[in-house]
Amino acid sequence: MALQEFDIIRRFFTDIGPADDGLGAIGDDCATLDIPAGFSLQVSVDTLNADVHFPATAPAELIATRAFACCVSDLAAAGAKPWCFTLALSLPEAQESWLSAFARGLQRAASASGARLVGGDTTRGPLALTLQVMGLAATGAALRRGGAVVADDIWLTGETGLARAALELPVLASPAAASDEQRCYLDAYYRPRPVHGFAHAIAGCVSAAVDISDGLLADLQHVLAASRCGATIDVKALPVHSQLRDDFGEQRALDFALAGGDDYQLLLTAPTSSAATLEAQADRLGIKLTRIGEITEGDGVNLKHLPKGVALPARAGYQHFAADADA
Ligand code: ADP
Ligand code: MG
């Protein structure tokens, strides 16, 4: 018998995330959240549409891990600890195998982050997911885009460019068929690992933060606009995986790294006096952290050490309503 809306909710979505620690069960009209004293709630919502944000025919488990990571990455950018989330799921059909793989991926990602599913909506329609994520930051301690100050260092976690390169692979929708060399691109695309533990730990010594979901340059611009300053980025210092250069050449590797997006790494600015603490915390948590430039006066990005013969990316990042947004 076909699965009905309430069977779906009961079978797949009532126990997602870490064990219920007082958030309450799914099933009421509203989830009730008592925010612990001394914390403020950080909330962010994102929609992922099939064939815009992921291939519709990709394995459901990976659609879930990608969707969750994309959304919870905003909590990392706020320095917030993931707490709970809601899921609005639009499905063309209720297929048991798809739902069970999707729930498995969601369970893994949610449990790893510490966020529990507290409610949602399940409807029939083109495949799309909307996740609202909620995290906790000590009152007054949430990271913002607008705090960068001239002479601050600019730091980047992880590596940049790998997820964008995955979009070039014919195996994007069928990762099981990927070669060993292609796996690092698909992993970056389907299983981003937002660094919320790190962001939470260093929130006190950072002046501004943003996750580079739309592309390093585009998201850096958001920090610069909000902070009213400029930046110099040392292209030679960018953490670009050597395989990316080998497989795609210097120009495209740099395009992907600077303007690709989908990396879900954090770009941070911090006074130079914070450098040792940032590096020690990154080391402690096994997170790669690279100083890629500094905040300057002015209002634009100056790229230094651009390799000879390599041009600037044609655009800074992904925009949904650009004329060529399907690129
Ligand atoms: P209502 O019609 O009152 O909005 P629904 O019938 O849509 O409620 O949902 C019933 C319950 O199941 C609610 O508690 C809702 O939060 C939860 N729910 C529905 N879909 C999902 C989902 N995809 N994930 C988690 N909880 C869900
Ligand atoms: Mg409903």
Atom of ligand 1 nearest to the CA of 26: 14
Task: Tell me, in angstroms, the distance from the centre of ligand 1 to residue 66's CA.
Answer: 22
DSSP secondary structure string, 171-212? TTT-GGG--TTTHHHHHHHH-----HHHHHHHGGG-SEEEE-
Tell whether ligand 1 has an atom less than 6 A from the beta carbon of residue 36.
Answer: no
Alpha carbon of 9 to ligand 1 centroid (Å): 7
Instruction: Say yes or no: CB of residue 117 within 6 Å of ligand 1.
Output: yes
Task: Give residue 173's pLDDT.
Answer: 96
Q: How far is CA 200 from CA 88, 136, 151, 294, in A?
A: 27, 10, 23, 22
**Ligand number, closest to the Cα atom of 8:** 1
CA of 119 relative to ligand 1 center, distance in Å: 6
Quote the pLDDT of residue 323: 55
Reduce the DSSP state of residue 116 to 3 states and report it.
strand
DSSP β-bridge partners for residue 128 = 49, 90
In ligand 1, the atom with minimum distance to the C-alpha of 27 is 14
Cα of 121 vs centre of ligand 2, distance in Å, is: 5
Q: Return the pLDDT at 322.
A: 59
- Ligand closest in space to the Cα of 6: 1
Cα 83 to middle of ligand 1, angstroms: 19
* Centre of ligand 1 from the C-alpha of residue 257, in Å: 39
pTM of the entire structure? 0.92
pLDDT of residue 107: 98
The pLDDT, as a whole number, for residue 327 is 38
d(C-alpha 23, C-alpha 35), whole Å: 10
Residue 157: CB within 6 Å of ligand 1? no
Pick the residue whose CA is nearest to atom 20 on ligand 1: 121
Nearest ligand to residue 30 Cα: 1
CA 110–ligand 1 middle distance (angstroms)? 18
Q: pLDDT tens track of the chain, all 327 residues?
A: 578 888 999 999 999 999 877 888 899 999 999 999 999 999 999 999 999 999 999 999 999 999 999 999 999 999 999 999 999 999 999 999 999 999 999 999 999 999 999 999 999 999 999 999 999 999 999 999 999 999 999 999 999 999 999 999 999 999 999 999 999 999 999 999 889 889 989 988 999 999 999 999 999 999 999 999 999 999 999 999 999 999 999 999 999 999 998 989 999 999 999 999 999 999 999 999 999 999 999 999 999 999 888 888 877 666 666 555 443
* Binding site membership of 317 for ligand 1 (Cβ less than 6 Å): no
Ligand 1 near 13 CB (within 6 A): yes
Confidence (pLDDT) at 1: 59
Q: What DSSP assignment string belongs to 252-282?
A: HHHHHHHH------EEEEE-GGGHHHHHHHH
pLDDT for residue 118: 96
Residue with tokens 């329609």: 125
Cα 99 from Cα 7, distance rounded (Å): 11
Residue nearest atom 1 in ligand 1 by C-alpha distance: 29
